[in-house]
A and B are shown apart, each in its own frame.
Chain A
């Protein structure tokens, strides 16, 4: 079946540090890839997405590139802020599978001032 694996947290960083969260996937079809963010006490918000190989999704200083050859979609941000503290979820969906989102386990990121 389809699955998403992402690095376990928590990841603790200082402000202005570089953030990378690794994400790899296995899929029976050709997936679309997503990063969602969940701030404390809130629901999920779509952070960025990519629908085909070599697409780069970007938003709020975050970037991720769809790498079909390595089945990866790593999230990066060059300079994190305290407000980036949240849980980040990598996910995939396949239209033929009813568009359901298959999530990774989530990575908690804590940015300290």
Chain B
């Protein structure tokens, strides 16, 4: 069973289009994240949701809109795609533990190429 899954794995699209990436976790976690990995492998947090509530929004352009229909899903919608959006997008999840370590589990990534 895949713990954190993302679809699609690859996405090639043209500038100006709107696209969505889906993420689902079957770990029963209450917190989900989106990270972006650029061409130089640098990873940076974009968003985090806890129990469907947005808790982190890291100065991401408002063309990016996360949506969490329930605790197990966090989708990423991107409007008016630009060349600079080309990257690998990783979804992750964790369970908030009082006083404990919120270990994050990552999905396999979605490679987005904007032409």
Residues of A within 8 A of B (CB): 32, 36, 38, 42-46, 49, 51, 87, 89, 93, 95, 98-103, 105-106, 108
Contact = CB atoms under 8 A, between A and B. Distances in A.
A20 to B, nearest CB: 20
Contacts of A95: 102
Nearest to B96: A99
26 contacts: A32-B101, A38-B41, A42-B108, A43-B90, A43-B107, A43-B108, A44-B90, A44-B92, A44-B106, A49-B101, A51-B101, A87-B41, A98-B48, A98-B55, A99-B102, A99-B104, A100-B48, A100-B58, A101-B33, A101-B45, A101-B92, A101-B104, A102-B45, A105-B40, A105-B41, A108-B41
Majority secondary structure of chain A interface residues (helix, strand, loop or mixed)? strand
B86 interface: no
B94 interface: yes
Contacts of B55: 98
Interface residues on B, range: 20 to 34
Find the residue from A46, A100, A102 having the highest chain B CB count within 10 A: A100
Rank and list the top 4 A-B pairs by shortest CB-CB distance, nearest first: A103-B43, A44-B106, A100-B45, A43-B108
Nearest to A51: B101
A99 B31 CA distance: 10
Given A98-B48, A103-B44, A106-B42, A43 B33 contact: no
Contacts of A98: 48, 55-56
B108 A100 contact: no
Contacts of A93: 102, 104
